[in-house]
Structure 1
Amino acid sequence: MSIRVSALIGAALVLIAQQALAEKKYGPGVSDSEIKVGQTIAYSGPASAYGVLGKTEAAYFKWLNDAKGGINGRKITFISRDDGYSPPKAVENVRSLVEGDEVALIFGVLGTPLNMAIRPYLNKQGVPQLFPAAGSSALNDPEHFHWTMGWQPNLHDEAKFYARSLLAHNPHPKIGILYQNDDFGKDLIAGLKDGLGPDADKMIVSAQSFQPTDPTIDSQMVILQNAGTDALFLFTYAKQAAQAIGKMWDLKWKPETFLHLGAASIGATFKPAGLEKSVGIMTAGFIKDATDPRWANDPDIVAWRAWMKENMPGTDTNDSLTVAGYAVAQTLEQVLRQCGDDLTRENIMKQAANLKNFRLGLLLPGSLINTSPTDYRVVTYVVLQKFNGTSWDEVK
């Protein structure tokens, strides 16, 4: 009798355990039918060219809902608001998204200064700040900011990569730097100096700053030329990069030029500057360029083009930001799929920190995403590439 009772009790305990495992766990912004995702981004203001990121991500989530029924049966409600590239406005938007709309997470916010402004609030509230369109190494600091994870190659490593590439063939360069006077620009300068080594300050002959709202950077470019710069680093976003390229052309000045990867867009930077004027510009490539003939028949680019034609007709497919927006949205999709029915904010961060050999087809071959609770870096693989007037050539 006691054996039978014990067996029944054991079976009941197993059943209870199975039910507990199968139980759905939801945090704010999640239900049986919905996952709310919030974003603040520059649809206006000095960085408005990057608003196409938000538009692409919105189109992707809409397609995901319509074509695939969302993620694990739940539709994505994507709430994206304009901050005009203003940190105070970004903070205001994020507070409204978290406290008013009760989103599950904040996604794809543009710009280092804006992400740094919202980071303290989101970490205090325990809200995931996932995959910002910013490369500051400070956005990958899981020890101190558990709830914040970047996506693109980080700025410090990017600039170190440029320094090594330059020194490999020019051990005594005369370096000029045009940089945005905020955490974004300063992080790149720190990485560059780290890569140049102990003689960095001797090599840098001039460093000229600007504010994002400055109407022009012409005077800074003249100073950099007059300093004898033969290696120029443009630590800028698209607007100032286009202005700098145009001014170099006017000055008949052609230093070896390295451009921050976030501004290395044919559509957003080189076309406004002039394709002919942009020949020879170098950057750290990490994602396939849809204009490059070598990817013309690539299955992932072909699929992306078909998707763009159907879901974003009329959008300039030469703009690499559309490729980036598509890829980063796919990354969030993977994280949420891995969550299954446990969509607490804690598990969303846990899954973001447990991406294993995840391959995004639009990243360059050889790029695999591997994250861990102690290493939040997402995209780490880069190659040096040079613009040839129509597309990019890899620099061997």
Structure 2
Amino acid sequence: MNIWRTISSPHMALLAAVSASYLALGASTSAELLVGNTSPYSGPASGYATVGKGLAAYFDMINAKGGVGGHTIKFVSYDDSYSPPKTVEQVRRLVESDEVAVILGLLGTPTNAAVQKYLNERKVPQLFSVAASGRFANPGKYPWTMGWIPTIVLEAKIFGRYILETKPNAKIGMLYQNDDIGRDALEALKSALGPRASEMIVSAQKYEVTDPTIDSQIVTMKAAGADVFYNSATVKFAAQAIKTAHATGWKPLHLLTSISANINTVLKPAGIDASKDIVSAFYVKEPSDPQWANDPAMVEYRDWMKKYYASGDPENLFNVISYSVGQSFRAVLEACGDDVSRTNIMAKAAALNNVELPMLLPGIKLKTSKTDYFPIQQLQLGKFDGERWALFGQVITDETEDVSGKE
């Protein structure tokens, strides 16, 4: 019997309204939880498609082990080609047609920004975005959006303080992507340098994601007399910059953004000799770094890759990130218990209390609150010695005074 036909019209209307409201909150009506995502499976940023593929592989493992709290995960991911208009189209499809409970691990600043207002208006969690802009940690304005990776602002502030403490008379050249995240990095560096920023930054060079090379920008920074190079570029351009700087004989103190600090995908293509002595910042264990070869967490990660994502590259840092984002979401679901409504998912994401993940560096933990949407606010500096990243100094937080470390 159809229960809707046994209820009088006024009561049916009331029940329908309650049901619609309940579903709008993303409440689970079965043991299956729908999780949505878009990734650049095509286009100029398709190298980052591994984030979506890695999340799918992580949930395959979770489901094979019985799910979380009695819920299996149905992971639905569409191609957005790293195009904000397409991201909007696909996210609307996920929310309005697929009726996902949450958007998880969406890659990129422009793509996340394009759907941020929409998801907050619909009260759909935009959780653990793989984007380093600080705009995804503003609970006052966007209470349904939370990033995951440390922000470019934190990183740039730490690099700025490092420069002041180790090379106070530096002349700085900076390479950055011409978008919100790149401009955030530049402004954060200026802020960290304080009143001396205008004299210390002698050349700030931007590039477009569609540019074929950044050779001219490197030549310009060298010609400006820069003896510090803040390389805030993404993987492809970071490698080009390292290689070109070396080829032109430019030997500055080279600071490399953490998103490009991968030995196999950046340093080796650029050249090991060219990469020696580069300094970067870290929060996860770098998979191609020999110091972690026998680490139990790394062994477990590689076993997961081999069994559930055999076509992926275990050395790719973004597979560590997708694996860790999946683990972070699992921690949220475990805290949710039986209530996996959108409201409770977001509430538990905003109440992480020093959560340790196996692939985070020792001493770095996830911590959030209703007023703090920065899950990771700690970094550790490391210098590439030609074989591995030699970590030095203490784990640095935004409040740490001395960031120079002792090598």
User: What's the TM-score once normalised by structure 1's chain length?
Assistant: 0.90
Question: 2:25·2:123 contact (CA, 8 Å) conserved in 1?
Answer: no
Instruction: Choose from 370, 374, 377 the match for 2:374.
Output: 377
Map residues 1-396 of structure 1 onto 2, 5 A cutoff.
27-28=25-26, 30-66=28-64, 68-395=65-392, 396=407
Deviations 1:134-171 (A, max 9, x none): 11111100011100001111111110000111111110
Question: Counterpart amino acid of 1:30?
Answer: S
Question: 1:47·1:237 contact (CA, 8 Å) conserved in 2?
Answer: no
Deviations 1:91-112 (A, max 9, x none): 1111111111111111111111
Shift of 1:26: 8.8
Question: 1:29·1:36 contact (CA, 8 Å) conserved in 2?
Answer: no
Deviations 1:309-355 (A, max 9, x none): 22222532222221111111100111112111111111110000011
Cα distance in 2 between the residues matched to 1:189 and 1:362: 29
Question: 2:27·2:342 contact (CA, 8 Å) conserved in 1?
Answer: no
Shift of 1:47: 2.1
Cα distance in 2 between the residues matched to 1:168 and 1:72: 49
Question: Counterpart amino acid of 1:93?
Answer: Q
- Residue 13 (structure 1) aligns with: none
Aligned to 1:199, the other structure's residue is in SS state: helix
Question: Counterpart amino acid of 1:65?
Answer: N
Runs of at least 5 residues in structure 1 that lack an aligned partner in the other structure: 1-23
Cα distance in 2 between the residues matched to 1:266 and 1:53: 18
Question: 2:87·2:115 contact (CA, 8 Å) conserved in 1?
Answer: yes
Aligned to 1:93, the other structure's residue is in SS state: helix
Question: 1:81·1:93 contact (CA, 8 Å) conserved in 2?
Answer: yes
Q: 1:210 to 1:387 in 2, by over 3 A?
A: same
Cα distance in 1 between the residues matched to 2:314 and 2:120: 36
Shift of 1:375: 0.5
Aligned pair count reads: 372
Cα distance in 1 between the residues matched to 2:377 and 2:220: 34
Question: 1:265·1:321 contact (CA, 8 Å) conserved in 2?
Answer: no
Question: Counterpart amino acid of 2:347?
Answer: K
Aligned to 1:131, the other structure's residue is in SS state: strand
Aligned to 2:381, the other structure's residue is in SS state: strand
Cα distance in 1 between the residues matched to 2:178 and 2:27: 36
- Residue 20 (structure 1) aligns with: none
Q: 1:364 to 1:120 in 2, by over 3 A?
A: same
Cα distance in 2 between the residues matched to 1:25 and 1:370: 29
Question: 1:112·1:135 contact (CA, 8 Å) conserved in 2?
Answer: yes
Deviations 1:242-281 (A, max 9, x none): 1111211221222111111112222332233233322222
Question: Percent of aligned positions with the same letter in both sequences?
Answer: 47
Question: 2:264·2:288 contact (CA, 8 Å) conserved in 1?
Answer: no
Q: 1:200 to 1:59 in 2, by over 3 A?
A: same
Question: Counterpart amino acid of 1:280?
Answer: D
Q: 1:313 to 1:223 in 2, by over 3 A?
A: same
Cα distance in 2 between the residues matched to 1:350 and 1:272: 43
Shift of 1:90: 1.1
Deviations 1:74-103 (A, max 9, x none): 211111122121111111111111111111
User: What's the TM-score once normalised by structure 2's chain length?
Assistant: 0.88
Cα distance in 2 between the residues matched to 1:315 and 1:276: 27
Cα distance in 1 between the residues matched to 2:150 and 2:370: 18
Question: 1:26·1:342 contact (CA, 8 Å) conserved in 2?
Answer: no
Aligned to 2:195, the other structure's residue is in SS state: coil
Note the aligned Cα RMSD (angstroms): 1.7
Shift of 1:229: 1.0
Aligned to 1:283, the other structure's residue is in SS state: strand
Q: 1:123 to 1:25 in 2, by over 3 A?
A: closer
Q: 1:125 to 1:326 in 2, by over 3 A?
A: same
Question: Counterpart amino acid of 2:263?
Answer: I
Cα distance in 1 between the residues matched to 2:163 and 2:55: 35
